[in-house]
Amino acid sequence: MSNILIIKHGSLGDIAQASGAIQDISENHKNDQIYLLTTKSYLDLFKKNPFIHTVILDKRLPRYNLIYLYFLMRELKKHNFLKVFDLQNSSRTNFYKHILFPKADKIVWSSSITTLPSSNKKDEFDKISVLERFDHQLKESGLNTSNTLKPDFSWAATDISEIKNFYNFDKYILLFPFCSPHLTIKKWPHYNKLIELILNKYGDQYKILTAPGPSEINDAKNINALALLDNGKALDISQLTYLIKNSSFVIANDTGPAHIAAHVGAKGLTLFGKHTTAYKVSIERENFKAIEVSDLDNLSSEKVFERLSNFLF
């Protein structure tokens, strides 16, 4: 039995997308111990993943913090990893490679760099979709892939029946009108108009909910929907996953919850402006689709409502 390391630091949407690749790595190494290196935000979450045996914390302190770097590298080296699968593919993780396995090929250290097609430059390769890149990376490293292109994030869900009973709702439409303050280009501004259209047609048939993150609770007060909290606090990722998975429909900006919805089989829509494409971030699934426009300000609530209505009936 050997030790295998997977590196995945974040972000939330990327964690959901990597679920299939992690499953394939585990299933190709059934007799080995699977370790995963991640950040504090996802440490407890990954401990629930059935395809991972041990989770290691990377505090991601500055690289010039040589004391921290020394102890992290010592921790990793003591496990004598046979193979490393870098699913983060960042400059930081490439830096780790130069310390741990400076001469390793794609069989020992699998990354987008070590498996880069000979006909492509890195910036060209990065133009293909996230899941296709993962699939290429694992195949080039000698793995059979059957889950990478169809990740299932359902393993992350934790039952929230008590919270649902407290708020007394059953069927619900879930909205994610928020985004990071530095990514306002992703934000669609017409959620309240959409809510009016939903209420006018469906009345109390569906509860309309939001699930704000810790920094979004105040912003949720500007949305005419029930902000779901757990004793005044934002739901954790596992609670959020359950809420998304069991919804009637999800409408979201291009954020982490949208990627969760895509990879737990939820019905829904995500709204894209010119910042990227649905193809590149691998978000469209059988039940989860995208509306892509050049300017989100000009995407009408009527058009989004029409797509929602077509899904529901």
Model pLDDT for residues 100-115, shown as the tens digit of each residue: 999 999 999 999 999 9
- Give the per-residue pLDDT at 117: 83
Beta bridge partners of 33: 3
Please state, for a pLDDT cut of 70, what percent of the chain lies above it. 100
pTM: 0.93
- Give the per-residue pLDDT at 182: 76
Residue with the bigger pLDDT between 69 and 118: it is: 69
Q: Give all domains of the chain, ordered by start, each with its CATH number.
A: 3-152 (3.40.50.2000), 155-312 (3.40.50.2000)
Asked if 73 contacts 90 with a C-beta cutoff of 8 angstroms, the reply is: no
- Give the per-residue pLDDT at 122: 78
Give the Cα separation of 275 and 250 in Å (integer): 21
Query: pLDDT grade, residue 120 (50/70/90)?
Result: confident
**pLDDT score of 3 more than 70:** yes
Q: Which of 216, 218, 280, 205 is nearest to 252 (CA)?
A: 216
Tokens 């102890």 found at: 71
Residues 6+ apart with CB under 8 A from 238: 45, 48, 156, 157, 158
- Give the per-residue pLDDT at 313: 66
Average pLDDT over residues 194-210: 96
Average pLDDT over residues 203-214: 95
